[in-house]
Amino acid sequence: MANRTAFLFWRIILCMITGALAPLSLAPFDYWYLGGVSVAILFILLHNCTPRAGAWLGWCYGLGFFGAGVSWVFVSIHEHSNASGLLAGSMTALFVAALALLFALQGWLYSRFFRNVAGFCALWIAFEWLRSWLFTGFPWLYLGYGLIDTPLAIFAPLGGVWLLSLYVVLSSTLLVTFFKRLKHPLQAATILMTVGLPLIAVQQHQIPQSWTLPVGEPVSVMAVQANIPQQQKWQRGELEHILQTYVDLSLDSDKVDLLIWPETAIPTFYPKARVMLSPFTERLEESHTAMISGIPTVYIDSEQPKGKRYTNSLTLFAGGSGNYDKQRLVPFGEYVPLERQLRGIIDFFDLPMSEFSLGSPDQPLLEAAGSQIAPFICYEIAYPELVRQQSLSSDLLLTVSNDTWFGHSSAPAQHLQIARMRALETGRWLIRSTNNGISALISPDGNISTTVPQYQQAVMIGEVQRMQGLTPYQEWGIKPLQVVTGLMLLFGLFTAPRRRQSRKGF
């Protein structure tokens, strides 16, 4: 009995370590092969498990996966809400444990109904998709992001990040199966051919390098990275200083077509900001420079308790008119679930501007500098389908963010990697403007064209190109992959090996 308990204990520990390997395949570490290693070990650990054991091992894997991948949540709670290290650590652990329940369910379903490659891979993709919308969604840490700097990234315009995730999971589980089938040469050869076909297609240039085409002249861009401390940003006495900082950093903006200030760069509402910035915006109008800035917006709404509704927005201050209200809000950062119960308990539940409302899903694109710009605010860029839908009529993508919340953690690098994937999926140039980094201009192949140092005041100047046409992923979205996943689930269900009777318990 003691030996069995020790074996289960070490199996659980191994599962947590295995889960922690997967985020190392993503930015800022970029050990892309560790995603496949992590999946392969989990596939082995789940072999012949009871459903109960599958659920526990899945949960432990999830603890390692999310514990290593989103530990930056601790930074935002501890450093920006006066929460003690113990309290912030406890809240982060609770968040990770709740997310890990998805892997627990995934492990239970696999052990109960499938126990084969097709079922394992289809469930993985189904649960990545589930995380893109369940409880408003947490579309983070998809394994496909780890392939963005490999030759296989060329498949992203075909099926998005989920297609790359499918390759990671399928190839790693098939390679495990390959070693089991070495005594059956034909089966082993078939497995190797399946894994190698995408690589051969890339090597033989069977996949188009680009699905979209440039149109018109390049657009010159200036993005201001003011590096305003989060503690200073919402203090009323700092408003004039903050605006002047942005204006001073934007002195050469009359030489570019488009000026971008990041998320909530202006910590007041439009009417007041418009008056305070009027001398500057008048100069921009004279030089035909368009200016877009992040700013909170207030609407009169009798249905709201206070008669007003607030949104996190992007607004044109010069070179046109237009406004975009954020459609995906960060829980506890921009709105508080169970608000009546949680408000006032700790500062984290009373962060400035944490009463935002959702913007309408049907909003026009921003028109500036002769471009149709699809805008996204911070967290929204992580939603593949939202970006796909918004980008259909666009020729440029724009995302603004304030990653100051996450300090020197891995979050800003993960966020940038996600933005790179959106540019690759849509075949569009993407402008990323942030308060403290990582600001960047990203080309349609997902590569960074221009960037500036992180955690300091800087001005990024470069050119982007308007693009026309649609990638297959833009046109069809995740639907083809959902069909494939559904067929794999059915195949896995009907070909599942008969489960042996096992002892009750873990």
Cα separation, 168 vs 65, whole angstroms: 16
**H/E element holding 482?**
helix 479-494
Alpha helices in 136-216, H assignment, sequence order:
156-180, 185-203
CA 108, 114, 115, 119 torsion-angle sign: negative
136 contacts 328 by C-beta, under 8 angstroms: yes
Is residue 313 classed as helix, strand or coil in its secondary structure?
Answer: strand
∠ Cα 410 415 417 (to 5°): 100
- Mode of pairing for the β-strands spanning 258-261 and 290-300: parallel
Cα separation, 506 vs 503, whole angstroms: 8
Residue 103 CB partners (closer than 8 Å, separation 6+): 19, 58, 59, 61, 62, 65, 127
Amino acid identity of 263? E
Cα separation, 120 vs 33, whole angstroms: 19
Options 263, 355, 380, 425, the catalytic residue: 263
Options 121, 233, 326, 334, the catalytic residue: 326
Is residue 298 classed as helix, strand or coil in its secondary structure?
Answer: strand
Structure-block tokens of residue 38: 């992590």
Distances (CA, A) of 247 to 261, 284, 421, 437: 10, 11, 32, 19
- 494 pairs with which residues across the strands? none
Cα separation, 369 vs 465, whole angstroms: 12
Cα separation, 82 vs 506, whole angstroms: 41
Q: Can you tell me which residue has the tokens 């699809």?
A: 374
195 contacts 171 by C-beta, under 8 angstroms: yes
Cα separation, 165 vs 185, whole angstroms: 28
Cα separation, 35 vs 156, whole angstroms: 17
219 contacts 479 by C-beta, under 8 angstroms: no
**H/E element holding 214?**
strand 213-214
472 contacts 158 by C-beta, under 8 angstroms: yes
Distances (CA, A) of 416 to 19, 61, 351: 22, 25, 25
Options 121, 128, 378, 380, the catalytic residue: 378
504 is catalytic: no
- Residue 359 phi, psi (nearest 5): -80, 165
272 is catalytic: no
376 contacts 390 by C-beta, under 8 angstroms: yes
Structure-block tokens of residue 45: 């650990």
326 is catalytic: yes
Active site residues: 263, 326, 378
